[in-house]
Each structure stands twice: as C-alpha cells, then as structure tokens.
Amino acid sequence: MTTVPTPAKGLEGVVAAATRLSDVRGDIGQLIYCGYDINELAGKVTFEEVVHLLHHDHLPNRQELEELKGLLAVKRELPKGVVNIIKTFPKDTPPMHAIRTAVSALGCFDPEADNNSMDENRLKALRLIARIPMITAYFHRHRQGKSLLPPDPSMGEAANFLYLIDGEKPSAEKIKTLDMCYVLHADHGMNASTFSARVTIATLSDMYSAITSAIGTLKGPLHGGANEGVIKMLQEIGSLDRVDDYIAEALAQKKKIMGIGHRVYKTLDPRAPHLKRMAQILSAKIGEPKWIQMSERIAELMLNEKNLHANVEFLFRHGLLLARHSDGPVHADLCHLANGRLDCSRAGATGRQPVDPPAKPVLRSGRIEGGAD
C-alpha cells in the first residue's frame, strides 16, 4: 500500500535554496546581512551602503559608495510610456495594484528585458531599485491630482522619495527614518515574495516578471499588505481609550490583528526596536503621539493576551507614517519585504556568519571608509 506524503504546512521547514545574502534566525530573533548583524548596520549605514553590501558582499569604500549613488540617481527617470500608463490608472486603485502593473510595464520599455546575463541583470536590479520609488511617488501624486516632479539627482534614495511625494525638501529626521526603514527591509531570506520571485526567475523568465510576481505576493494581507491593515485598524479605533475594547472584541471574534505575530520570529523581530525608536523620536518631534500610544497599547495587550509580538509591519507603518507625517496609504518599496504564512520555506545561509563579537563596519565621520572584509 502506498502512503501519500504529508505536505509541509505552508512549506514549513522546507529548505528551498541557499543564499549568502541574509540569515533569518527566528528562534533567537537575529537577522544577518552578509555576515553583519542587523544591529550593527541599523542607524550606522545608509540604504545605499546596504545595497552595495548585498550586491558585492562587502560594504563600500567612499569611492564605491559615490559611484553607486551616482548610478542610482541617473537610473531613476521613468520611461515616458510608463509615466503615461501611471497617469491612466484610476485614482482609487490600491497603490500595490498600481506599483505591480507599472513594474511589469517597465519590462516592455527595456530592450534588454530578456537578456539574462549577469552584467545586464545587475543593471536591471539597480534600475528597479531606483525606479520603484519613482513609480510609487508618481502614482501617489497622480491620485492626488498633483503634478509629477522630476527626481533630484543630488538626493539619496530615501530623500528623493520623500521629496517626490511631498514636493518639498524633507527634514533630516524624516530622511533618517525612511532610510532606516529601507535598511531594515533590504533582505529577509526566503520570505513569500522572494520565494515567488525565485520561482519565476528559475523558469528563465526575466527580472521584471520575477519582481512583478514578488509584488503581487507582497501585497497579501498576511505578508507586506499587513501594514496597510495596521493603519486601517488604527484609524478605525480612532483614540487610545478605545483600544482595549476594540482588541477584546476582535479576539473574541477570532479576528487576526494586523501587524501582530510572525511565521518565523517567535521572539521579538530584531528590526522592531530600531523602528520603534525612530518612530518615537519623530513622533516627539512632530508632536503627534496618539498613533504611537495606541500602537504601544495594542502591542502590550497582544503580548499579554496571546504571547504574540508586534511584527515589523506594525512598526514599519509608523516609521513611514511619521516620516511622511500624513495618513495617505503609500505602500511598499522594492526593499520592503516581510513574512507571511507561505514564506515558511527557508533559505540555508551560505554567507559569512557573524563573528563573536560581531564584525563591525569601520566608521569615520559617520561614513564607512574601508570595506568590511
């Protein structure tokens, strides 16, 4: 008699690939990028430095960093055809639909879309990193009926995104907050959207198709879409004094509280304290403590009631909300990846493991001077 194999629940425990990029240690709440503990990077290096680390396996020296920043800045401009497509989107379409469709359209305007050589794919990756924030900002301006601004090549990725959204030079605090959000979301092992992208690219399809698959997956409420759910929930609750009743009622109805719980981290997500600190600083600065207070109370209740921690979607939303200082649901960037039920497949980490004490970037005047190798 043949026995039917039992499928792993949500691919739990299945090692689907090996990677040197990141190692997610859910049991001890540790996240490592190319040998660096995230705690050694957050607040000390910029998103562009992390991009260099992930692409070249070492932190950049000054010259490498300037080259990368220059490359990203010149690659931002969107093809006119893609801008025109964005302008035809219904203003009330959810942002993730707009971003997914515009990224897919980028492939139609790239004559090298199907050239899968390593050199060409490296360039495509940079183009996507530079252009997805442009798409996001342009869709946001379009739906508000505002003009679409040209990118500012003198600004880094986080600053330029905020500038394009708000139409004014962002403050240093806002840039720092968003930049840290980018750093903390730059890689996360074999999460659901990465898994989708890898399945697509493994058929020898092209990078635009792979990232389109990934964005479609990221959009789901159990994955990156949870952060939109968090803001909807906070708006629905409305004030701190209503939090306890709302949560009690939701739990009684067996509803999932968005932004709480994690498939892999069974202790506190190591990215959470960084986002929380930044959100607190910014919240104190702009004098809008209500959202933070409500979030802290929800997190406290969920820890007490269900022994579940707030996840990065919960805190990401606050970082972004406060960085923008508005409640418009702007969602997702290429680097924004998190976990959901389907992302239980794993990547075996093949990269350098952090040494004890962990390797630290060499910082001089707040800037990395030497590679990390």
Footprint of ligand COA on this chain (CB under 6 A)? 222-223, 226, 256-263, 306, 308, 311-313, 338-341
Please, which residues have CB within 8 angstroms of residue 151's CB and are 6 or more apart in sequence?
Answer: 73, 76, 77, 134, 160, 164
CB of 132 to ligand COA, least distance (A): 20
Bridge partner residues of 94 (DSSP): none
Residue nearest to ligand COA (CB): 261
Residue 184 and residue 42 in contact, taking contact as beta carbons nearer than 8 Å: yes
Q: Which residues contact 344 (CB under 8 A, 6 or more apart)?
A: 8, 9, 10, 11, 12, 13, 14, 263, 264
Pick 261 or 270: Cβ nearer ligand COA: 261
Nearest to ligand COA of 22, 101 (CB atom): 22
Closest to ligand COA by CB, 197 vs 301, is 301
Nearer to ligand COA, 69 or 263 (CB): 263
Concatenating the DSSP letter of every residue in 72-118 gives HHHH-PPPHHHHHHHHHS-TTS-HHHHHHHHHHHHHHT-TTTT---H
Amino acid at 144: Q
Q: Is the peptide bond before 153 cis (omega within 30 degrees of 0)?
A: no
Q: In what order do the strands lie in the sheet with 30-33?
A: 22-25, 30-33, 36-37
CB of 174 to ligand COA, least distance (A): 24
**Least Å distance between CB 25 and ligand COA?**
16
Minimal distance, residue 186 CB to ligand COA, in Å: 15
Q: Which is nearer to ligand COA, 137 or 279 (CB)?
A: 279
The least distance separating ligand COA from the CB of residue 310, rounded to whole angstroms, comes to: 9
